[in-house]
Structures are given as C-alpha cells and as structure tokens.
Amino acid sequence: MTETQLQALLATDTLAAARRLLGCEFWWRPVDEPEHPGERFRIVETEAYTQDDPACHAYQKNKGRAANLYQRPGLAYVYLIYGMYHCLNVVSEPEGRAGAVLIRALEPVNNHKEWRTHGPGRLCKALNLTVKSHNGLDLFSKDTPLRLLPGEPLEESRVVTTTRIGITKAVEAPWRFYERDNRWVSVK
C-alpha cells in the first residue's frame, strides 16, 4: 500500500481505515532530539470514531478540541483523558467531516528497550506524546517527530474485531480491531 492509498482510505472510510492501519507503522523520535535516528512501531490495536457516534468527541459539535476532528485526514489528534493520560488518534474523513482512529497499542519493531506501548494512555506516556507538542501534526509530513508509514495488510484471519473499550456514551458496535495473538494488545 502506498502513502497516497492510505490517505485516500482515511479520507473515505474510517472503519476500513481503522482495520487497515493494523500492520502500518509509526516512525517516532523524541521531539527535542532532531538528530535522533528514531524508532519504528507497528500498529496492532485501533478503534474507529465517527461524527454520528455518541462516543465521538465531535458528536453534535464542532468546537473546542473536537474541531480538530473536522480537519483534513492524516493529522494527529491528541487529547487529555481523565486529567492525566493522553490518547493518540489519526484524523479521518474529508475536511469538514469528523472522524478518527484511536491508536490503542503499538509493537516496537527493532529495539531492546523495554517500551510500554500497550494501551492508549501508556503509549503516549512512553513516547512522550502530548497535546502541546503533537496535536495537529501532519503525520504524512517529512519533517515531524511522528510519521505514519503505510504497511502491508494483515491477512483476514489475523484481524480480530470486537466492541470498543471503556465507552460509556454509546451503544457499542464492533469498531475495535487488533492483531490476533499479539502480546502488545491492551485487552484480549
């Protein structure tokens, strides 16, 4: 899959994009270390949020932090939850319509450090992702400390589909996706 194809999918279908992001990667480096060689992380767990979903921050409103979700696809949406943890999302849907894919777990690709990247709050803490430094970044830009890299699709049998985690504001639907048997998935 090319970068253009991934961007196109994000722009047209949040559910499909959430599923398809499994196997794609993030390239990451510390914000304050431009010379850092960076690390790669595979996306192994995601959830989809759309405009007509009561659990979505942009449900029936386009202001405050939710306004970010109406921006063009491929931007980062980072927000603070429970006053102490951050969550990372990839903005989806065309500009003017809201949608996002929550990144719930990452698998370090090559390194020997003990990363704690299983769980949306933990991965943001591990990579030091914050509203101030990462919200609104273009994940397809060549010059950001966090970039989205297209990957090959997982085989159908490798993808597990379930209801989302921790939602209290919506009747749940199967909008969570994760890689089968991956040890980095937050909740099996």
> Based on CB atoms, which residue is closest to DNA, 11 or 129?
129
Region near DNA per CB under 7 A, out of 14-22, 56-64, 146-154, 172-180: 56-64
| Residue 169 is a binding residue for DNA (CB under 7 A) | yes
Please, what is the minimum distance in Å from the beta carbon of residue 150 to DNA?
A: 21
| Residue 19 is a binding residue for DNA (CB under 7 A) | no
96, with CB counted inside 10 A (0-12, 13-18, 19+), is exposed
* Nearest in space to 169 (alpha carbons), one of 68, 84, 45, 59: 59
Q: How far is CA 164 from the centre of its chain?
A: 14
> Based on CB atoms, which residue is closest to DNA, 65 or 97?
65
| Residue 171 is a binding residue for DNA (CB under 7 A) | no
| Residue 84 is a binding residue for DNA (CB under 7 A) | yes
- DSSP β-bridge partners for residue 161: 177
Handedness of CA 31, 117, 45, 1 (dihedral sign): positive
For DNA, the binding residue among 119, 134, 178, 184 (CB under 7 A) is 119
CA distances from 78 to 3, 45, 125, 127, 159 (A): 22, 17, 12, 12, 25
For DNA, the binding residue among 65, 72, 97, 158 (CB under 7 A) is 65
Region near DNA per CB under 7 A, out of 8-16, 30-38, 51-59, 146-154: 51-59
* Nearest in space to 134 (alpha carbons), one of 28, 25, 19, 34: 28
| Residue 51 is a binding residue for DNA (CB under 7 A) | no
Instruction: Say if residues 99 and 69 touch (Cβ distance below 8 Å).
Output: yes
Q: Which parts of 120-139 interact with DNA (CB under 7 A)? A: 120-123
Helix, strand or coil for residue 59?
A: coil
| Residue 82 is a binding residue for DNA (CB under 7 A) | yes
Q: Which residues would be at the binding site for DNA (CB under 7 A)?
A: 47, 49, 55-58, 61, 63-66, 69, 77, 80-85, 87, 89, 100, 102, 116, 119-123, 164-169, 186
